[in-house]
Amino acid sequence: MAVLTYLEAIRLAMLEEMERDERVFVIGEDVGAYGGAFRVTAGFLERFGEKRVIDTPISETAIVGAAIGASLMGMRPIAEMQFIDFISCAFDMIVNYAAKARYRWGAGVPIVIRGPAGGGVHGGPFHSQNPEAYFMNVPGLKIVAPGTPADAKGLMTAAIRDPDPVIYLEHKFLYRRLKAEVPEGDFVVPIGKARVARAGQDVSIITYAAMVQVALEAAEGAARDGVDVEVVDLRTVLPLDEEAILSSAAKTGKVIVLHEPTLTGGPGGEIAALVAERAFEHLDAPVMRVAPPDTPVPYSPPLEETFLPDAEKLGRAIRAMVHY
């Protein structure tokens, strides 16, 4: 085991896969000479050369389009969005080309589209978004969102090796704030498999990415009041681990879905529907969602703190569930 930050774990997985497989390369804005906006690819250019670490113009459409073309020629591109917010510029390429190629003519598009997502760093409405809900309605895509350094490494390795397109969401708040043990060597976390981050009997919290830390903090607070909270870390947003979600719902009978995308149309609605359809007989209360309000992410630090879910807000939801 090595103790690494979340950012270092992502970096290590990319380095190891580039060493292992010469087909893997990195493409994006400032990934080479500058080493990436958050320094995830620092030193890659010197190590692998300009044919495998490719700086591009400021065009997400071109970055993803080039990655798709290279993947169809047998390569394994890792396409960086400097901030994940700008993935919207490449929406057509991702949705209508990458995601549909296997369905239309049997061609896999093994690309990873990665970039920093999420709030908590006062980045404002154009540098703090969580775009996963936009893509959950697109068959052919996979979406992963690790919440720990170990999962950051294991899911990146899995994403690079996957035969189809994977959107890999890196929560920028966790980059240098979260440090933990990470397995060394060949380590893969399967896409589509959740984990129980904290076992409990009274209330289930279904969450992922940075909200895992919020859920664990709230669970510790609830434990002091005698409430045993289970925290399920989805790790993968698409496809959802339905078995893990339903198993936890059946175990506790009370489910809270916690996520950072805004409430309406967010992943919580899909998870709540799944629980309502397939675990209704086990429920002792309606499924509750804890998520930001339907506004852009505020730039003002006090407003952003009001906007984002935290342990206090989640604690109130836990108490409401217990007393339902």
Strand partners for 231: 198, 205
SS3 state of residue 257: strand
CA distances from 281 to 70, 250, 294 (A): 49, 8, 31
Torsion of the alpha carbons at 217, 218, 219 and 222, rounded to the nearest 10: 130
**Separation between Cα atoms, residue 250 and residue 273, nearest integer Å:** 15
**Strand ranges across the sheet with 236-238:** 53-55, 24-28, 76-80, 112-117, 166-171, 142-144, 236-238
CA 116 from chain centre, in angstroms, equals 10
Instruction: List Cβ<8 Å contacts ≥24 apart for 294-303.
Output: 294/262, 294/263, 294/264, 295/262, 296/125, 297/119, 297/123, 297/124, 297/125, 297/128, 297/129, 298/124, 298/125, 299/122, 299/123, 299/124, 299/125, 300/122, 301/122
**Closest to 1 in 3D by CA, of 179, 181, 187, 185:** 181
Residues with Cβ < 8 Å from 78, sequence gap 6 or more? 14, 24, 25, 26, 27, 111, 112, 114, 160
Catalytic residue numbers?
A: 127
